[in-house]
Amino acid sequence: MKTEELILYRDFPDGGLLKDMVRLMENAADTPQEEEAFGDILYSCMRRLLEMAGKYGFYGNLWHCYLTDLLVNDENSYSRACEIRGPVEGSINRAALHDIALFKELFDHDLNGMAQRLGVRDFDLVLSYEGNAQESRVYNTRIRDRICGLAQRFRTAGTPEEMKDMLTDFYREYGVGRFGLHKAFRIVGEGRDAAIEPILNIAHVKLEDLIGYDLQKKKLLENTEAFVSGRRANNCLLFGDAGTGKSSCIKAIANAYYDRGLRIIELYKHQFKCLNDVIAQIKNRNYKFIIYMDDLSFEEFEVEYKYLKAVIEGGLEKKPQNVLIYATSNRRHLIRESFRDKAERDEELHTNDTVQEKLSLVSRFGVTIYFGSPDKRLFEEIVEGLARRSGIDMPKEELFLQANRWELSHGGLSGRTAQQFVDYLLGRG
């Protein structure tokens, strides 16, 4: 086969290795006079496969893992149509099957025989590679295992149709490319150059891990459940005292709803000018996206909030139905107000209009959830739950006594203070 024969799955960012391997498969048996040169190429391919194993954490048959990685990351008209939804109808299936048949030839090729003909030793290293416990620089273990597992299943496919069905099932269950494999993302760059890049390691927080605030969590879950289920949902503002679990709740829903197609994109205040460009990249995908703004607040002189207002509601282009905005803030009204806004009316004829413009941002959030600092009883309940979860064996009275002493000099009553206290106890050994 030739890579030029591919229709949908082509122009891979890391396709040089594929072209070299295909060249060897096509020519190594027919041109014995070039065996030494071809052997050098195969050794180079081995090196690149081993480098890939270290970068991605792959194990087993590295050639199969490489091919599988190309398939699960290639965003084309077929893979995007199948993501989250599953099989689709139409002629696109024929084009996809054409390419998968070529990939199956690559999977089934006798690489050991080719290595022996070229005098390449120890080629079994890349065909049965044993990985190590070192963390991948690109994929976490969950993603790595899914790709390696799919590569192993591909080996059992008897026909290209079976292989295509396996790949389509993967797209339906996890999606395709960066949005399919990762839960959370950040924005890099500005304007039209703004790129959505995955956050490789997100804290695996569950809502049930967060002690207390049951009504707040219930309200957040109800809104997110409606959104993920395709029903009408609102932009959401989590506001209140510092260290009360607002950001942790957002991380928790990212983990809870990942398998149902929810993705989180973190956006900072200085990146608000990129909002329209970011939304343009995600509005036609089959995922649900929450654009997450942590610790959102504005000083009097800052005007970035106007970009946010226009995107949430009021711009000419309607916000896509697969996008919501969730924000956390320690301020109820997000924008700092001063007495000058309300009292010094001589400075501006329509001061009330200025005040209302600043206050109108919070009204763009249909759901607002207040997180207040815990009282002493709840604080002790949080400390007890965190200590028990961490395996700390200490009499309750002594635990509470030390915790109350700790909070007096470490920021007061909050879930964050409780976690810091438990970390302190763990650090003492």
Least confident of 191-200, 236-245, 247-256, 308-317: 308-317
| Burial degree of 231 (CB within 10 A; 0-12, 13-18, 19+) | exposed
Q: What are the tokens at 135? A: 């963390």
Rounded average pLDDT over 351-371: 70
pLDDT attached to residue 185: 96
User: How big is the CA angle at 412 (ends 411 and 413), to the nearest 5 degrees?
Assistant: 130
Q: Label residue 21 by pLDDT band (50, 70, 90).
A: very high
pLDDT attached to residue 295: 83
pLDDT attached to residue 3: 83
| Residue 91 DSSP class | T
User: How big is the CA angle at 343 (ends 339 and 349), to the nearest 5 degrees?
Assistant: 125
Element (H, E) at 204: none
Structure confidence by residue, pLDDT tens digits, 61-101: 999 999 999 999 999 999 999 999 999 999 999 999 999 99
> Is pLDDT at 308 greater than 70 in this prediction?
yes
Residues 334, 96: Cα–Cα separation, whole Å: 49
Residues 332, 157: Cα–Cα separation, whole Å: 57
Most confident of 27-36, 338-347, 417-426: 417-426
Q: Report which of residues 32 and 146 the model is more confident about.
A: 146
Over the chain, what is the mean pLDDT?
87
Rounded average pLDDT over 33-40: 80
Residues 429, 427: Cα–Cα separation, whole Å: 5
Residues 354, 146: Cα–Cα separation, whole Å: 53
Structure confidence by residue, pLDDT tens digits, 276-287: 889 989 999 999
Residues 63, 50: Cα–Cα separation, whole Å: 10
> Is pLDDT at 35 greater than 90 in this prediction?
no
β-pair partners for 129: 60
β-pair partners for 184: 264
| Alpha-carbon torsion (123, 126, 131, 132), positive or negative | positive
pLDDT attached to residue 32: 64
pLDDT attached to residue 350: 47
> Is pLDDT at 43 greater than 90 in this prediction?
yes
Q: What are the tokens at 357? A: 């413009």
> Is pLDDT at 341 greater than 80 in this prediction?
no
Rounded average pLDDT over 197-224: 90
Structure confidence by residue, pLDDT tens digits, 108-120: 999 999 999 888 9
Q: Label residue 360 by pLDDT band (50, 70, 90).
A: low
Block residue for tokens 């295509």? 164
> Is pLDDT at 332 greater than 70 in this prediction?
no
Structure confidence by residue, pLDDT tens digits, 174-184: 999 999 999 99
Q: Label residue 317 by pLDDT band (50, 70, 90).
A: low
Ranges of H-type helices in 118-207: 124-127, 141-154, 160-174, 177-181
Rounded average pLDDT over 326-339: 68
Pairing of strands 184-188, 195-198: antiparallel
Residues 195, 337: Cα–Cα separation, whole Å: 34
Rounded average pLDDT over 29-39: 74
Provide the whole-model pTM.
0.84
Structure confidence by residue, pLDDT tens digits, 226-235: 999 999 999 9
Q: Label residue 262 by pLDDT band (50, 70, 90).
A: very high
Residues 64, 155: Cα–Cα separation, whole Å: 8
β-pair partners for 197: 186
Asked whether the beta carbons of 43 and 55 are under 8 A apart, the reply is no
Asked whether the beta carbons of 257 and 345 are under 8 A apart, the reply is no
CA nearest to 129, candidates 200, 64, 188, 84 = 64
Least confident of 49-53, 168-172, 189-193, 339-343: 339-343
| 321 three-class SS | coil
Block residue for tokens 């490489």? 66
CA nearest to 69, candidates 163, 147, 183, 170 = 147
Asked whether the beta carbons of 211 and 385 are under 8 A apart, the reply is yes
pLDDT attached to residue 339: 47
Residues 69, 403: Cα–Cα separation, whole Å: 49
Q: What are the tokens at 39? A: 């052997």
User: What percentage of the chain carries pLDDT values higher than 90?
Assistant: 61
Residues constituting the chain: 429
> Is pLDDT at 345 greater than 50 in this prediction?
no
Q: Label residue 297 by pLDDT band (50, 70, 90).
A: confident
Q: Label residue 340 by pLDDT band (50, 70, 90).
A: low
pLDDT attached to residue 347: 53
pLDDT attached to residue 176: 95
> Is pLDDT at 356 greater than 60 in this prediction?
no
